Structure 1
Amino acid sequence: MAPFSLMAAGVSWLAKSFTVFSSTSVLTRCTSVLPASYINPVKCLSSQASGPPKRPLNGYMRFVLQQRPIMARQNPEIKSVDIIRKIAQQWRTLSPEQKQPFQEASLRAREQFTLDLQGYKAQLTPAQLQQQVLEKRQRLAKRKAIRQKRELTNLGKPKRPRTPFNIFMSEHFEEARGTTTPAKMKSLRDDWRNLFNHQKQVYIQLAEDDKIRYKNEMKSWEDHMVEIGREDLVRGKTLSKKKKTDAKAPSAKKATKKAKAKTTKKTAAKGKSKTTKVTTKSSSTKTV
């Protein structure tokens, strides 16, 4: 009976251990997909308890996470940017067979992500779903604005004119009171309010000059944008003015042509009248 009791105790212990291991998170499932050299176990957790599941990493990013600590240990003097460049170069030199484990792990994580996302959305109310759609639109609009700003900077769009307070702040920011930027800004606002009108007039005049600078630079920049075919970046007011001037230009040309034609007709008529007078005089002298 003793061996039988020992076997029963062993079975119960195995059952308890099985329940403990089965209650763990997705971590154990992800580590069993590939060897530890191919996967960062922490990044395989695709869901969170208090939010939507995170998108899984692609094959290249998994390779970066694997190689980055190794490369940093081998080259401690190299910057992180150069390390990423070296890893990217290594990824390009890998064969399709060497890339396959990372890509397969990414594919499995993507399938798990779709399942987790469906489960997460099923728990949300219609109001929460609508809020998520609104937040997604805001994120996309923000990204679009950042891309447009970067494009305008690359195209050399002039900077907007500064206000009198901006000029005052840029001149006195270093010696402003406070250790942090918000504290310095607050002290500068207080100093600006305490200035007399004749003291503010200097910065007001500088701001007016900056407006003139901005106007002239914007005019030349928008003309250049029209020349290179980027009318989508030109303001609507300037486009309407250009269209009006372009519409007036043909009419002005027609008016000048008409005026020239009238003057030529008048000169021709005067020439004819002079010739007729000369012929009448010559005929009268012959008759005499």
Structure 2
Amino acid sequence: MAPFSLVTASVSWLAKSFSVLSSTNTLARCASVLPSAYVNPVRCLTSQASGPPKRPLNGYLRYVLQQQPVITRHNPEIKSVDIIRKIAQQWRTMSPEQKRPFEEASVLAREQFKVDLQHYQAQLTPAQVQQQAQEKRQRMAKRKAIRKKRELNNLGKPKRPRSPFNIFMSEHFEEARGTTTQAKMKSLLEDWRNLFSHQKQVYMQLAEDDKIRYKNEMKSWEDHMMEIGREGLIREQTLSTKKKPATKTSAAKTGTNAKAKAVKKATATGKSKPTRKTAKSSSVKTVRTTKKT
């Protein structure tokens, strides 16, 4: 009779073999039911939805991926920027017949992407759809903020004033302790906390001077934005201060106009009343004279 350990080992081996056979059968069934584009062992064996399909490349980027290793192999000393520039020059000089294979491959990949995207979206739950929509809004807001910041830099918006610690860090960053940027900043923060008050006063005065610089530069920049019609880029507090004098002058004008109208009305009524009194007095005099007679 075989030992008990040998029996258990044979039983475990049989169980593993049956599990392998069952997994291969399930893969075969998945391959027979789904098209070849959807066959993926992870997707078939698990019910969790994987990441969304990647967008296909256009014809030019396909040409770049094909030519980049070739040019790098023949010219190893050229920089990557120069390689891309050279490939772009080649693409511009190519004929439509030479570009057609790359563009046709891009069209086919785009059609396959649409099918894959529909299949992926059909697997999502309502909670996952809501989460993806929220992530998309966040990405759009981030891109909008980046575009706005780039536009402000192009328009020459002044840089914000630096704090005393930032000035101290910029002056002593090179000789700071540590090999990484994070380690250097940590050591500089410790040095800043260990400084005496009279030592920090120097950097505090520099920060105050930088605030004055920022205030003057922002005033001239916002005046220039007003001149070119970009009021939307100006701070709200600046717009409120610029609008207040105009409202005061308009209120003063309306007040003076109201006063002038009131004076005119008073003079008009004052002139008309005496005429009525004189008419009354003349009528009374005539009545008295008639009585005497």
Distance 1:97 1:207 in 2: 63
Cα deviation, residue 197, structure 1: 2.0
Equivalent residue number for residue 218 of structure 1: 218
Equivalent residue number for residue 245 of structure 2: 245
Equivalent residue number for residue 188 of structure 1: 188
Cα deviation, residue 63, structure 1: 1.1
Secondary structure of the residue aligned to 1:56 is: coil
Counterpart AA for 2:128: Q
Equivalent residue number for residue 260 of structure 2: none
Secondary structure of the residue aligned to 2:61 is: helix
Equivalent residue number for residue 118 of structure 1: 118
Say whether residues 1:167 and 2:153 are aligned partners: no
Equivalent residue number for residue 137 of structure 2: 137
Equivalent pairs: percent with the same residue? Answer: 78
Equivalent residue number for residue 91 of structure 2: 91
Superposed CA RMSD: 2.8
Counterpart AA for 2:157: K
Query: Could you report, residue by residue, the CA deviation over 1:185-206 in whole angstroms, capped at 9, with x for unpaired residues?
Result: 1111112222222222221111
Distance 2:184 2:81 in 1: 34
Distance 2:198 2:77 in 1: 56
Equivalence map 1:273-284=2 (5 Å) = none
Cα deviation, residue 250, structure 1: 6.1
Using the size of structure 2 for normalisation, the TM-score is 0.66
Q: What is the aligned length?
A: 216
Query: Could you report, residue by residue, the CA deviation over 1:223-281 in whole angstroms, capped at 9, with x for unpaired residues?
Result: 1111122222111111122222344456779999xxxxxxxxxxxxxxxxxxxxxxxxx
Secondary structure of the residue aligned to 1:220 is: helix
Secondary structure of the residue aligned to 1:176 is: coil
Cα deviation, residue 144, structure 1: 1.5
Query: Could you report, residue by residue, the CA deviation over 1:5-58 in whole angstroms, capped at 9, with x for unpaired residues?
Result: xxxxxxxxxxxxxx8xx799759xxxxxxxxxxxxxxxxxxxxx8411111101
Query: Could you report, residue by residue, the CA deviation over 1:127-177 in whole angstroms, capped at 9, with x for unpaired residues?
Result: 111111111111111111111111111111110001111111111212222
Equivalent residue number for residue 56 of structure 1: 56
Distance 2:230 2:153 in 1: 14
Distance 1:26 1:124 in 2: 19
Counterpart AA for 2:200: K
Distance 1:250 1:82 in 2: 62
Q: Which moved more, 1:68-77 or 1:112-121?
A: 68-77
Distance 1:136 1:126 in 2: 15
Query: Could you report, residue by residue, the CA deviation over 1:65-104 in whole angstroms, capped at 9, with x for unpaired residues?
Result: 1122222233333322122122212222222222221111
Counterpart AA for 1:113: F
Gaps of 5+ in 2: 1-27, 39-48, 257-293
Using the size of structure 1 for normalisation, the TM-score is 0.68
Gaps of 5+ in 1: 1-18, 28-48, 257-288
Equivalent residue number for residue 262 of structure 1: none
Equivalent residue number for residue 68 of structure 2: 68
Equivalent residue number for residue 284 of structure 2: none
Secondary structure of the residue aligned to 1:184 is: helix
Q: Which moved more, 1:71-80 or 1:130-139?
A: 71-80
Distance 1:25 1:172 in 2: 61
Equivalent residue number for residue 281 of structure 2: none
From the CA coordinates, give the structure whose radius of gyration is larger: 2
